[in-house]
Amino acid sequence: MERLPTELVIQILSYMSTKELKAIGLVSSEYRYLVLPTLFRRIRLSFWGVRDMEDLITCFRNNTVLSSAVRVVDMQLIRNSNCPVEVLRRIMETTTRWEELVLSMDDHIPLAVLDDNTKLQLRRLRCFTWPWSTGPKFYHLLLDMLPTCTNLVEVWMPDLEEERIKAIDPAGLAAATWVNRLEKYGGPPHPLNYLHNSTPLCHLTCTTGIPSSLLQRLGGLVGQQLLHIHFPLYVTEKPDIRLIRNTYLPPLLIPSLFPNLRHVAWFLILPQPGSILGDLVRFLLAPTSLLITHIQDLPRAKSSGDEAALDTNGILLDAIQRLHFLRQVCFISHHASDVLTKPALKFVDDVQKKSPPSLQAICLWAPSSNPWSYTFREKGVESTNEGTQKLWSCETNVPVPPFCH
């Protein structure tokens, strides 16, 4: 490896586990300076005692290599005021190049670690909730604080009801200030109503479903630049019409609104197409009157009752084929366990055969079946009489992205 460029070695090291990196750092003094930035990029703080924190501060002050390597300060394990704010601030002062904070949404730590200087340094903020401790005080302080973080480009926050946001920020002036700075946003959809044309947003994760009117507005504002879209996922064996409409991505809308998407979650694989009537499909997949006129051109299944049922999974496959830059797509199937998700796996097989060349990963979550997840990854190509064909590897019962950020 001594002849490899340093940048390439760093890239290789980034794929190694913490255990492997520690071993390399202990064995090789030559590579230790390359391993340390990766090992200390994220520090997770928990309150061991004031003396332990003081030792950590002293270590950072005496070793600038370590202190300058820290990019993420994770405080989500610190809650219920079990660590003095002054100590946390001193850690942030000694790790001078940090740019991301991970906080627990605890009313007892009301963002007090952020002063005027640290607000300017903050670029990424992730808030994790503890159900027994989060209350309205934190939300008020958070929404008041966000506009003052002028260099913020990424925010992740748990769901917050639209009524509560409006009560704190009735005119949306604060939301318009901070949401238009973001490149990545994860949280409730309401602040998205205040986006402007100049927003750099390219990564969107919503904690609840987005109304079709807001989805179309987003298409006009960030449609060409949005690379990642993630809708929430609710696990239920028999999702009703309201649940499907409010939480899953509508296949008819996505390719036309966001043609350059790289990562998409979640698309719903419906049961056998013949079991869903045309009127219901119109209701689910065509939420605006502008799209109803195109229904007659969509794939149809066999007749059922008074009219033919649309092949809803065929519509979904067509939508995926129109996303020409897609790299990863996530599906959920509510097929019952007694059918072993065979219809869903057959659909995934069709996606593998007909997907855009850029597609590298397909994830299927089947919560009612065993295995409960399938992750397919491209592992190469093979030559056939019809040309080249992708080869796929499959893992089952592994954590399902995009929950593994």
What was the pLDDT predicted at 289?
Answer: 36
Kindly indicate the confidence band of residue 100, based on its pLDDT and cuts at 50, 70 and 90. Answer: very high
Count of C-beta atoms within a 10 Å radius of residue 247: 20
Two structure tokens written together for 314: 């065929």
197 has pLDDT over 80: yes
Query: Averaged over 319-325, what is the pLDDT?
Result: 94
Kindly indicate the confidence band of residue 15, based on its pLDDT and cuts at 50, 70 and 90. Answer: confident
Give dist(CA 150, CA 138) in Å, integer: 20
In 4-153 the beta strands, taken as DSSP E runs, fall at 42-44, 72-75, 100-104, 124-128
Strands 228-230 and 100-104: unpaired
Query: Averaged over 228-235, what is the pLDDT?
Result: 76
107 has pLDDT over 80: no
pLDDT in tens, 48-77: 666 778 888 999 999 998 999 999 999 888
Rounded to two decimals, what is the model's pTM? 0.84
108 has pLDDT over 50: yes
Which of 344, 362, 339, 363 lies closest to 352, judged by CA?
362
109 has pLDDT over 80: no
Return the exposure string of 66-84: e unless at least 16 CB atoms fall within 10 Å of the residue's CB, then b. Answer: bbbbbbbbbbbebbeeebe
What was the pLDDT predicted at 160?
Answer: 81
Query: Averaged over 111-117, what is the pLDDT?
Result: 82
pLDDT in tens, 26-41: 877 777 778 888 888 9
What was the pLDDT predicted at 306?
Answer: 41
Return the exposure string of 131-163: e unless at least 16 CB atoms fall within 10 Å of the residue's CB, then b. Answer: eeebeeebbbbbbebbbebeebbbbbbeebeee
pLDDT in tens, 260-289: 999 998 888 876 544 444 444 544 454 443
What was the pLDDT predicted at 303?
Answer: 46
Name the least confident of 145-149, 150-154, 292-296, 359-363.
Answer: 292-296
What was the pLDDT predicted at 257?
Answer: 94
Give dist(CA 176, CA 62) in Å, integer: 43
Q: How far apart are the first and last CA of the chain?
A: 30
- Count Cα atoms within 13 angstroms, Cβ side, for 241: 10
What was the pLDDT predicted at 272?
Answer: 56
What was the pLDDT predicted at 243?
Answer: 46
Name the least confident of 172-186, 218-232, 361-375.
Answer: 361-375
Two structure tokens written together for 14: 């980034």
What value does the mean pLDDT of the chain take? Answer: 80
What was the pLDDT predicted at 394?
Answer: 94
Kindly indicate the confidence band of residue 387, based on its pLDDT and cuts at 50, 70 and 90. Answer: confident
Of residues 135 and 35, more confidently modeled:
35
Q: Please report, rounded to a whole number, the percentage of residues in the chain having pLDDT higher than 70.
A: 78
Q: Please report, rounded to a whole number, the percentage of residues in the chain having pLDDT higher than 90.
A: 36
What was the pLDDT predicted at 324?
Answer: 94
Of residues 187 and 241, more confidently modeled:
187
Of residues 123 and 104, more confidently modeled:
123
What was the pLDDT predicted at 234?
Answer: 55
**E strand or H helix that includes residue 259:** none
**Site of tokens 């090992």:** 39
**Rg, the chain, Cα only:** 24
Count of C-beta atoms within a 10 Å radius of residue 198: 7
The residues, ordered by sequence, that sit 6+ positions from 250 with a Cβ below 8 Å of its Cβ are: 212, 215, 284, 285, 286, 287
Name the least confident of 51-65, 293-307, 385-399.
Answer: 293-307
What was the pLDDT predicted at 375?
Answer: 94
